[in-house]
Structure 1
Amino acid sequence: MRLQKIRKPIVITTAFLFHSLLIFHLLFSPVIIILASNKGIVNASFFSFVLIFLLSLFFGRAYCAWFCPGCGVQEIVGFVIKKKAKYTKARYIKYVIFIIWVSAIITGYLVRGFTKIDLSYGIENTPFERKLLLTLGAGLIIVPLALIFGRFASCKYICWQAPFMILGKKIRDRLSLPGLRIKTNAANCRKCNACTLKCPMDIQVMKKVQCGEIVDDECILCGNCIDACKSKALFYSISTPSKPLN
């Protein structure tokens, strides 16, 4: 079974629903949660980001590829833009953004405290025009970056959610906990490089096949490499790390 025939319809549908219903900003906006924290309000996006982190302790970054509305936009863009964003040091920009962003949220709660839970904060009293701008804001960032740098540029370089999952995955691997991974069978590898060519995150997959597992912070477990490999050298596995971390 080709995984992309399952994954792409799911993630594209997610993107369509979240954007058309104007709720993307309510659950994932990096702006609304800062505004909420400065009023001491625990809003819906607070729980969304906590949930994303907790899920990453088992699923790693699979959410990115399978359910993230932003990834759905990337897949739609991919019908037109074929160039991939390069695997460069620019990927560290997202960590700088993450640190500044999380610091702003924490500061807000330290100053205001936790006064109440309001899951609808940011949607009930927000004018339609602002909802539209906040919801479509992700697309207004994703599309230009894809045009300039290639597909998945925003995921790779500036995504404010990715560090949550990378941190969760690192904790999981440090503790050698079982989780969803892409394992490899080096003996089956024909060194055709098809896996690397199909990787949307521009990871040098073939070079990692010899390690027994695809270990890379940018791996979103999309399964493109698994589909591309005709010799079945890559496969999903619920398991512990191939090599325990020291």
Structure 2
Amino acid sequence: MKRHKIRNTLLLFSMLLFPVTLNYLSPYLIVQGSFAGIVSGSAAFFLTLFLFSLFFGRAYCGWICPAGAVQDCCVHINNKAASRKQNLIKYFIWVPWLTAVIAGFISAGGIKEFNPVFLTDYGVSASSLQGCIIYMFVVILIAVISLSFGKRSFCHSICWMAPFMILGSKIKSKLGYPSLHVKTDSSACVNCKKCDANCPMSIQVSEIVKSDKKRIDNVECILCGKCEEICPKKAVKLSVR
């Protein structure tokens, strides 16, 4: 399928550019910048992700995220489904982190400066030995978690960006305006469960389809379209209507 090739190409390029973009995805730089009253490039990117998710949910995770690309490579080694219990871990990380960011700006007397290349030499994240070490540590961490605990376990458990997109996804689902989602048709489903086996986020898609909810509202869905690609009867489909 052409769309599948486009998605894989985007993920490949994102992974290749990860040494450049790492700092723009960094939660640490946001905290460090906040205590100096500086809005870093990663802070602006996180806000952009939230706004993006109001219309496209977690499509960033499924189509662009370099961490997602690393984990999709790991699937060829460990294709085990991730436990649903992992989904709660990221909130225990996100809440204290967000509290620290807010506390930082308060202690600094508010926002004083916007610096998109804060602590990033020439706009390149891994431009020094230290940067390369941090880059390798992050990639190894992502891979080890995915290989140890199942498909896209990093997304499920400790991803610091996911809660922003989950919040945006909940808002768009609640308000019901046109946005990207997975449309379901229970009458077409033959219960082959190919969607369950191939979902990178280990979602029981067939159960949602059979429940006749008309759409998949699971906040762990990354809108990759893999279920639509694999479904022989087209009981699931990406839609914006």
Whether TM exceeds 0.5 here: the answer is yes
- Select which of 71, 74, 84 maps to 1:74: 71
Aligned to 1:243: none
Is 1:103 equivalent to 2:95 in the alignment? no
* SS of equivalent residue, structure 2 residue 17: helix
Q: How many residues align?
A: 235
- Select which of 33, 36, 45 maps to 2:33: 36
Aligned to 1:15: 15
* SS of equivalent residue, structure 2 residue 180: strand
Bigger mean CA deviation after superposition, 122-131 or 32-41: 122-131
CA distance in 2, matches of 1:80, 1:31: 30
| Cα deviation digits, residues 51-96 of structure 1 (max 9, x gap) | 000000000001101011110111222233322322x222101011
CA distance in 1, matches of 2:89, 2:143: 18
Q: CA RMSD in A?
A: 1.6
Change (3 A) 1:78 1:90: closer
Aligned to 1:189: 189
* SS of equivalent residue, structure 2 residue 111: coil
Bigger mean CA deviation after superposition, 50-59 or 37-46: 37-46
CA distance in 1, matches of 2:228, 2:51: 25
Retained in 2: the 8 A contact 1:2–1:227?
no
| Cα deviation digits, residues 79-114 of structure 1 (max 9, x gap) | 33322322x222101011111111111110111021
Gaps of 5+ in 1: 240-246
Gaps of 5+ in 2: none
Aligned to 2:86: 90
Aligned to 1:242: none
Query: Could you tell me the TM-score, scaled by structure 1's length?
Result: 0.90
Bigger mean CA deviation after superposition, 34-43 or 74-83: 74-83
Q: CA deviation at 1:227?
A: 0.9
* SS of equivalent residue, structure 1 residue 79: coil
CA distance in 2, matches of 1:191, 1:3: 24
Change (3 A) 1:105 1:171: same
CA distance in 2, matches of 1:106, 1:134: 25
CA distance in 2, matches of 1:81, 1:4: 21
Which AA in structure 1 matches 2:152? F
CA distance in 2, matches of 1:141, 1:120: 24
Q: CA deviation at 1:2?
A: 5.4
Query: Could you tell me the TM-score, scaled by structure 2's length?
Result: 0.92
